[in-house]
Amino acid sequence: MREKGCSREEIMAYLGRRRGEDCPSCTILSSMCTDPHPMALEADTLFRCTNLGDPGLFPGTAAIERHLVGRLGVLMHLPGAGGYATSGGTESNIQALRIARKMKPVKRPNAVVPESAHFSFDKACEMLGVEMRMAPLDGRFRMDAEAAEALVDRNTIALSGVAGTTEYGMVDPISRLSEIAEEKGIFLHVDAAFGGMVLPFLEDPPPFDFSLPGVSSISVDPHKMGMSTIPAGCFLAREQRMLDLLNIPTPYLTVKQEYTLAGTRPGGPVAAAFAVLEYLGREGMQAIVEGCMANTRRLIDGMEVLGIPAVTIPDVNVAAFPCDRVPEGWRISRTRQGHLRLVCMPHVSRSVIESFLSAMGELYA
Ligand SMILES: *Cc1c(COP(=O)(O)O)cnc(C)c1O
């Protein structure tokens, strides 16, 4: 590092230049994150200097975390669900598998997940020494539940489905998975990292949450469609005692034990996530989600006119197309199967969709 510090002006000028190198959000069609809501920024600023890793020092912030978990539990049809604010879907998925492994301590554990599972399951399974068994998808990119059932054996500690897949925006047949989980007595984790803040606000969503009796835990990320600041995830468990299985003694903190994966945890994004929910209410969230879904439909219709039909009709605001060439300047992504993948987040406004479509039109004219 420098021997002598440099001035605030110099640092800010440097940081400003670097920040200017980042992609403008109106060109980003590939991300599940979005511009935080102004309410989120304001709340985050107020709580910037808090640490949920030592909640006894920040009882006010800790109360907000409990409220956030409470609100999300109600949204997932289980008032009083256990849970805590994580750094995102990855941590939530890791925690789900940790719990499942504690609940069924077999020698050679395996977890059955769909082929569409987020790569965080690869990390989780590798870290925990759990064999990851991938169930194939059906023609619409949803987990084939019967194939999943066939992969379950005595050593299966967890079954998992995705509610809003990262690549194709599909909801797996969670009701069927719930039946299988109940029948066989296995832990069922629903990865609703993305869809958890979309599906509850749709007209007639497929069932995916604690309303299904076999669902043991859910991942839901406010830093995606919840428009919070990053990092704001939430892990929800049907019973608080499931989390308590992960308790580790914490000698020098204000609490005696903790079940979180991270130690030091930011309170800002948690306050931000809560503030956005309070500010918008169900009506406000519904309006935003409806807008994103309408933009997704417009994108799919516009691409169809160009002769590029979507590979499937998505359940949430993620669309995939068989399309190799895209105009310059847009940040797009590809699925593992090579399809063009676009996410219609709140920052992807109707006018952004129209400019993308017209650039596509020129390219394919
Ligand atoms: C985004 C996502 C994750 C990972 O979440 P992070 O917040 O990036 O850790 C996990 N599962 C699904 C389905 C996701 O969409």
For 8-37+281-363, CATH gives: 3.90.1150.10
Please give the Cα distance from 98 to 89 (Å, whole number).
14
Residue 316's closest CA among 160, 182, 200?
200
CB contact burial 120-140 (16+ within 10 A = b; e otherwise): bbeebbeebebebbbbebbee
List the residue whose alpha carbon is closest to atom 5 of ligand 1: 89
Site to substitute for ligand 1 among 91, 166, 172, 335, most atoms within 8 A of C-beta: 166
Digit-by-digit pLDDT tens for the chain (365 residues) are 999 999 999 999 999 999 999 999 999 999 999 999 999 999 999 999 999 999 999 999 999 999 999 999 999 999 999 999 999 999 999 999 999 999 999 999 999 999 999 999 999 999 999 999 999 999 999 999 999 999 999 999 999 999 999 999 999 999 999 999 999 999 999 999 999 999 999 999 999 999 999 999 999 999 999 999 999 999 999 999 999 999 999 998 899 999 999 999 999 999 999 999 999 999 999 999 999 999 999 999 999 999 999 999 999 999 999 999 999 999 999 999 999 999 999 999 999 999 999 999 999 98
Site to substitute for ligand 1 among 143, 219, 343, most atoms within 8 A of C-beta: 219
Query: What spatial distance separates the first Cα and last Cα of the chain, rounded to whole Å?
Result: 54
Side chain identity at residue 117, one-letter code: A
> Which helix (H) or strand (E) element contains residue 30?
none
The domain limits of the chain are 8-37+281-363, 38-277
**Is residue 208 within 6 Å of ligand 1 at its C-beta?**
no
Rg (CA), the chain: 21
Please give the Cα distance from 35 to 27 (Å, whole number).
12
Ligand 1 center to 88 CA (angstroms): 7
CATH number 3.40.640.10 given to 38-277: yes
